[in-house]
A and B are shown apart, each in its own frame.
Chain A
């Protein structure tokens, strides 16, 4: 089922179009990676999909409903966003942060109910962050903070999850752990995942499909084996590229070439 659909979507900041005439669909249970050169608008695409960026043209649909006709609360109950774990206010405990995922289910004056606390703890259990419940997020490592933010998005009880460079600044162990977690969530809960990702080798391993952006437009979309081709990538990234299959598992490996 189509969870997230871009219909001729155009958006940008004042006067400067970031993406033009984008058509893209993300299905339930599917991980769609968004790749492309720096500044091509990967993060902006994530923002637009969460509904906080005004569109200049076209539409974004969440399970068939136009995002512009939904309130912030309604959107937050459908779409969980995992931002980069930079500049997190460190003075909240991990549980406090995850409980903020329940904002869309509470009025301004309401305190979290037992049900909200249960949801939050459940999300922390799924993401392996339950052991940090009482810890201040400022004390956690980058990878731990990132998983707390995933738990916060899960606590929103969403159908769609958007992630902005979830592996940035993480070491190999934590990169692997985060993306395996995302894959597990997509498979078990049928989440539609749209994820901006820089590292093409991680894309090759973890994404079901790839959207390659170039020059303010969607260049190509398809399975990693199709999109991660030396010719396509060389054209978009303007550098010579080798792609060869990993002898152990057959996933494409991408490196630059002379």
Chain B
């Protein structure tokens, strides 16, 4: 990718203030998100309620008591889960892109989300003890589905010693459709779970309260910092497997760690929030345009960017057809699918990336 010298200098200097800009945007979008819903709570009031709750400041209550309940018991956990899901999907997407050396890789496009979805649906149809089910069995089944899918897609897409974009996407689409079809079939056959599963699969965040937040936290706390700290060897991998080996990187073992970690957090996102497409594609790409493709910077920036993007799209999902709510996956796909097509055309011209 040939870039002009001026834009490169701007990019590297911009990266210094990038984290601060993104952090402020996360806070702003979170406040916006938390106030949006069937009962609108103005951003200023939402902040006052939250600060009042911490007990740090005495704030006179001039809002209805129900607001406090809505905000703290329903909205806050939802907003936190949305932010965490966005972070997980974007971190996972950028890691897959580094792994496949391809900016079009994304848990959704590679079929990994569908594979995780099938794993989760299978787990839902089995009568597990309730407490263990959401916390453990569904994410574990989703992870298994995700890892098996990525292996399947990768081995199908491989031509000789390389993995061309075209075959990778074709394999992803085919495997994804197949997995989704099986998921639908299982859901239709087990009727009582049908309704819940459908809304879940479209990314409806149907589980409420703090339970999904707490249940998904361990996966993200392990996976996301791990991916963030592997930026340097991911950069080495961009020179191809042969050069990476000649430089002393144990490529097989490293790829395995990346696949398992990225699949784990993508599977956790699918387990607790349903299938939400294109977050892992759109967000890292915007970060690349703004601050370059160095994975040491890209993964942390994309992670924070993922939270911003999903908080925004979720806010939109709750406003456009108010008082009812669109599944957030519908909104991300409406934005992401055309973006994907644009990227596909653009990457074809940039030979360096294929």
Contact = CB atoms under 8 A, between A and B. Distances in A.
Given A91-B293, A139-B3, A108 B239 contact: no
Interface string B240-254: 101111111110001
B293 A72 contact: no
A138 interface: yes
A76 B247 contact: yes
A10 interface: no
Contacts of B3: 90-91, 136, 138-139
A102 to B, nearest CB: 9
A20 B2 CA distance: 42
A83 interface: yes
A106 B247 CA distance: 11
A73 B248 contact: yes
B54 interface: no
B242 A100 contact: no
B235 interface: yes
B248 A89 contact: no
B5 interface: yes
B1 interface: yes
Contacts, number: 86
Contacts of B249: 72, 103
Interface stretch (B225-233, B306-314, B316-324, B335-343): B225-233
A90 B235 contact: no
A152 B294 CA distance: 18
B352 A138 contact: yes
A112 B236 CA distance: 13
Contact of B250 (A50, A72, A88, A111): A72
B292 interface: yes
Contacts of B352: 87-90, 138
- Interface residue range, chain A: 35 or more
Q: Which of A101, A103, A152, A156 has the most CB of B within 10 A?
A: A103
A104 B243 contact: no
A77 interface: yes
B243 A83 contact: yes
Contacts of A182: none
A72 B246 CA distance: 7
Q: Which of A72, A91, A106, A135 has the most CB of B within 10 A?
A: A91
B246 A50 contact: yes
A79 B230 CA distance: 24
Contact of B1 (A76, A81, A91): A91
Nearest to A109: B229
B239 A103 contact: no
Contacts of A87: 240, 351-352
B247 A100 contact: yes
Contacts of B238: 89, 92
Contacts of B233: 103, 108
A103 B236 contact: yes
B10 interface: no
Interface string A177-203: 000000000000000000000000000
Nearest to B250: A72
A104 B243 CA distance: 12
A111 B297 CA distance: 13
A139 B5 contact: yes
Complex A-B, nearest 5 residue pairs according to Cβ-Cβ distance, in ascending order? A104-B248, A76-B248, A91-B293, A81-B246, A103-B247
Given A52-B245, A76-B248, A100-B247, 10 more contacts: A77-B248, A87-B351, A91-B3, A101-B247, A103-B233, A103-B247, A109-B230, A138-B2, A138-B352, A156-B247
6 contacts: A50-B245, A52-B245, A73-B250, A90-B1, A90-B2, A109-B229
